[in-house]
Chains A and B, each alone.
Chain A
């Protein structure tokens, strides 16, 4: 690189350029994968084997180790989608557009998992697969927001126009996040209240809490991995006519 002086600021700017981001993501991804797998192994062992059964719910509560991380990620990824959408609208940053587009299907997958695992937990505990209460309904709306974003972006041919239209939808949908979070406090609902995020004292035993946090970490690294993989595809596709992609694909093919 001939850019001088090489301060942290120029480095940061270069990171935002597609070829550097593509390369850096490729270097980081194996490490992210290893951390993710280690967290999954530790979390699953702790949650399914070491943690004691719940005194009220017995063994059925073990769905918590996938249900709660999925639900957390469904909201976290939406926050990422909205934030990168705002950045892409304000600064026209291509990389932010790519992250937003890459995040939506992953977020939809977590939302789907939160709904289905919640249903499989609700049946033995509440006696029903589904109720139209505030928590469940607002989470279902989140799934529709993700699907709406994906459909809108896919329907518009021009890449940048599509990203901009999607960004507006994503930002408007942010209003749903506090509704999901506070739904168990604002309305009477079948869904139990917060157990971990209560600030005074989480009402969950430490031997149950540690595997839950490990699983939450595993899900985070899973998102990081698949998001970066998707951004790399987005970058390759949108930069297909550039010289660096050309050298990359010809060197890979030989």
Chain B
């Protein structure tokens, strides 16, 4: 197991490469999901506001 993480002495190159890739790919997936949620919240707030001003 320790041998696996040592990567034959190349651990300082291999693992940062994998970590950065994992981070970048994760962020690129999470970003649009969060943006969509935020947009839906924003648009529904506008919609209820319009509804209210119409009923007044």
A positions within 8 Å CB-CB of B: 48-49, 53, 58-60, 62-63, 66-67, 70, 102, 105-106, 109, 112-113, 116-117, 120-121, 123-124, 222, 225-226, 229-230, 232-233, 236-237, 240, 245-246, 248-250, 252-253
Contacts and interface: CB of A to CB of B under 8 A. Distances in A.
A57 to B, nearest CB: 9
A230 B32 contact: yes
Contacts of B10: 58-60, 124
Contact of A233 (B21, B25, B36, B41): B36
A70 B7 contact: no
Chain A contact residues: helix, strand, loop or mixed: helix
Given A120-B17, A123-B13, A232-B32, A60 B7 contact: yes
Contacts, number: 92
11 contacts: A59-B9, A67-B17, A109-B25, A116-B20, A117-B17, A120-B17, A124-B13, A236-B39, A250-B44, A253-B41, A253-B48
Contact of A109 (B28, B43, B48): B28
Interface of B: 4, 7-10, 13-14, 16-18, 20-21, 24-25, 28-29, 32-33, 35-36, 39-41, 43-44, 47-48
Contacts of A67: 17
A249 B40 contact: yes
Chain B contact residues: helix, strand, loop or mixed: helix
Contacts of A233: 32, 35-36, 39
Given A116-B20, A236-B39, A222 B13 contact: no
